Structure 1
Amino acid sequence: MFDTPFMSTQLHAFAAENQEALQHAAYLLGGRPWLRRSQRLLDDLAQQGPVTSRMRREARALHRLLSLDFGHDPESPEAEFFAVLDPMDPQVEEICLLTEALGAAVEAVEVKSGRGTSFGEVAHD
C-alpha cells in the first residue's frame, strides 16, 4: 500500500560491484557449497530490501571464509581448498582486497543497524 523509500547500504553496493569476484573467491576457498551460499546472499542483496539478520549472518560467514578462518582446522572441508592455494597466485591478493572491503561493508551495516560498534563483535539477533 505504501511505498517506503529504501536506502541502499554499503553492503548492497559492494555486493553489486563485486559479485563475480566474490563468487570466484567463495568457490576457490570453499567449493560448491560456499559458491551456492554466496550466490544466495548476493541474490538477496540484489533485491534492494533492508539487510536482514540472516543476510548479516551470511555476510559475516563469507567474510570468515575469505579471511581463511576455516582453513586452519584440518577437519574442515575448507582446509583442503586452502591447502592447494599458492600464496604467490595473483588471486590471493584479490581475495585479500575483497576481504578487507567486505569487512568494511559489513561493519558499516552492523554499526548502522545498532548491532555492534565493531565488525568483530557478536551481533545478537
Structure 2
Amino acid sequence: LFTEQKTFVWGLIASMYLGNIAGLIVVLSTVPLFAAILRIPFAIIAPLILVVCAIGAFTVHNAMFDVWLMLIFGVIGYVLKKLDYPLAPLVLALVLGDRAEDSFRQTMLMSQGQMDVFWSNGLVGTIMA
C-alpha cells in the first residue's frame, strides 16, 4: 500500500490524527458534564441506566424477548456478584467464546484433526499451557 497507494495511506494516517484530536476535544469539553453526572445519587441514576439498557436491548430486534433476556441476565449477574463469583472471566467467555470455537474448528480442519498442532512450537505451546 505504501508504494502503490501513497495518497490513500497518508490520508488514512492523517484521518487517524484528526480523529484523535477531535476525540480529545470532545472528551476534555465533556469532563465537567460527566463529573456532574457522578454526583447524582445512585437511587436516581440506576432506573435511568435500566431504561436506557432496555431501550437498547429492544432496538436490536424490536422484540420484548430481548428485554426479558436482558433482565434475566442482569439478575443472574447480580446473584453471581453477591456470591463473590468473578464476573470478568464470564464476560470474556461470552464475548470471545464464539470466536474461539470458530478458530478451534478451523484449526482442527487445517490440521486434519491432529491435536499436536497446538504444541507445534514454543509460543503456541506456552499459550496453550
Q: Please tell me the TM-score bracket, short chain as reference.
A: under 0.3
Q: Which has the higher helix share?
A: 2
Q: Which has the larger radius of gyration?
A: 2
Structure-1-length-normalised TM-score:
0.26
Structure-2-length-normalised TM-score:
0.26
